[in-house]
Structure 1
Amino acid sequence: MGRRSIRERISGEELLRLLRRSLRVDWREYVALVAYELDGNPFAVLAAIILSQNTSDKNSIRAYERLRRTIGVTPEAILRASYNDLVETIREAGLPRQKASALKALAEAVIEWGGEKYLLEAPPGELRERLMSIRGIGPKTADVFLSLVRKAPGVFAVDTHAARIARRWGLVGEKAGYDEVSRALYSYFGPDNSEEAHRLIIALGRTYCKARKPRCRECPLRSVCPSAQ
């Protein structure tokens, strides 16, 4: 990897405590948490995660709020809406046609599986496989849901922030793929901290560990991060 790993300098539990003290996580800034807090139903959370793909949480939150206000965020409401109306409603989230198709396919699948109860009760591995069989749903979407709603063991969702930071921490190599990054972060933080660590890593990436011009001198991890030395 070319440099030392952060795990040689600080344990995952100690790092998590440092992140908690240093960063603010407001549920209103994360679209999955907005859906979880405002609606609570599992389909709504999955819909919100789909809207968040390849865009900012600000854009996806605006699109989600418009969706719940004008169409609704249940499988039945999504299927009743016309494709074109759905596209226009979620346009602010970006890639509206792709995401509308994914929402339609998800709604149809959930009803076919027996309703939202299945999303809450199916074995996590089986559910992950079924969700990922839907075009437009990848491992990150499935893992965010499994971690946030199901509290499933062995799951660490990886977005662009988590992948970048895991590499900068030396937990994985530069060419590591999704599954390798997910396993490394899960191993580092432990089975009880995945969902919280995921949100704190996003906050760290947004505030300090940016893709371009990271603010290493101001970062609360500057004394332990291999990339800040």
Structure 2
Amino acid sequence: MAGGASISERVDGKTVFRILSRSLRVDWRDYVVLVADRLDGNPFAVLAAIILSQNTSSRSSIRAYHSLRMLLGRVTPEAVLSVPEEKLGEAIRAAGLWRQKARALREAARRILEAGGERVLMEMPPEKLREFLLSIPGVGKKTADVFLSFKRRAPVFAVDTHALRIAKRWGLVGEKAGYDEASRALLEFFGPERSEEAHRLLIALGRQYCRARGPRCSECPLRGYCPYPRRAGGEARAGG
């Protein structure tokens, strides 16, 4: 690890989880997965929301999801395949990369129906389901793991840009670490029983404090434990 420092040398994941849970505001209306689950609840709707969230902001993906619901009524595989791809893309334009995402939604819908319908998303063993999801063009590791963690409560840790940045700043992984290494490290640090909620807390932490540029280290609820300001040369230099 950079500088040989890791947050795990100062505090355990259970304590960090408790501090973040107490300090950060997590509103379901700010997370497209929670929006989809609250409004529709069916597994395909949640998967569709995760696909929409790829490489865009939560605000944009939520706008796209509401637009998709206006088009389809209910977000199901059958409904997605009932409209032309171009029309589907127009509905989700707010999410960006709308042509690719429209294709991914239709391909996911087609394969899920061929495999037996939405029930396979809830009945297939998590390991097999991950392989199945990753076989769908447009579905990557983060998309698969967010679904598995949120909808199936599987012992995986989904890693987005916030989680990867924080794992590096915490010294849990090295600066060159990729998805798999960060996912394993965060799962081990927090424990599988907390991984799904910890994923959302890291997103909130990354948005509010541990930002890519100008991190607010001096205000961070973990300022007494995080090694990043010390490695970066002090809180003032780290943006605190």
CA distance in 2, matches of 1:156, 1:29: 20
For 1:2, the aligned partner's letter is A
Identity of aligned residues (%): 66
Aligned pair count reads: 228
CA distance in 2, matches of 1:200, 1:122: 28
Q: Tell me which residue corresponds to 1:91.
A: 93
Runs of 4+ in 1 over 2 A off after TM superposition: none
* CA offsets 1:109-160 (integer angstroms, 9 cap, x no match): 110010011000100010101111111100000000000000012x000000
Task: Select the residue among 146, 149, 152 that pairs with 1:150.
Answer: 152
* CA offsets 1:146-196 (integer angstroms, 9 cap, x no match): 00000012x000000000000000000011111100000000001200001
The answer for unaligned runs of 5 or more in structure 1 is none
Q: Tell me which residue corresponds to 1:48.
A: 49
For 1:140, the aligned partner's letter is K
Contact 2:2 2:175 in 1 (8 A): no
Contact 2:209 2:219 in 1 (8 A): yes
CA distance in 2, matches of 1:33, 1:228: 33
The answer for unaligned runs of 5 or more in structure 2 is 231-240
**TM-score, normalising length: structure 2:** 0.94
CA distance in 2, matches of 1:2, 1:215: 20
Instruction: State the 1:228 CA deviation.
Output: 2.2
CA distance in 2, matches of 1:56, 1:151: 24
Contact 2:126 2:154 in 1 (8 A): yes
Q: Tell me which residue corresponds to 1:30.
A: 31
Contact 2:142 2:159 in 1 (8 A): yes
Q: Tell me which residue corresponds to 1:193.
A: 194
- Decide which moves more: 64-73 or 85-94: 64-73
Trace 1:125-204 onto structure 2 (pairs within 5 A): 125-153=127-155, 155-204=156-205
What root-mean-square deviation, in Å, do the aligned CA atoms of Structure 1 and Structure 2 show?
0.7
Instruction: State the 1:2 CA deviation.
Output: 2.6
Contact 2:11 2:225 in 1 (8 A): yes
Q: Tell me which residue corresponds to 1:13.
A: 14
CA distance in 1, matches of 2:75, 2:38: 13
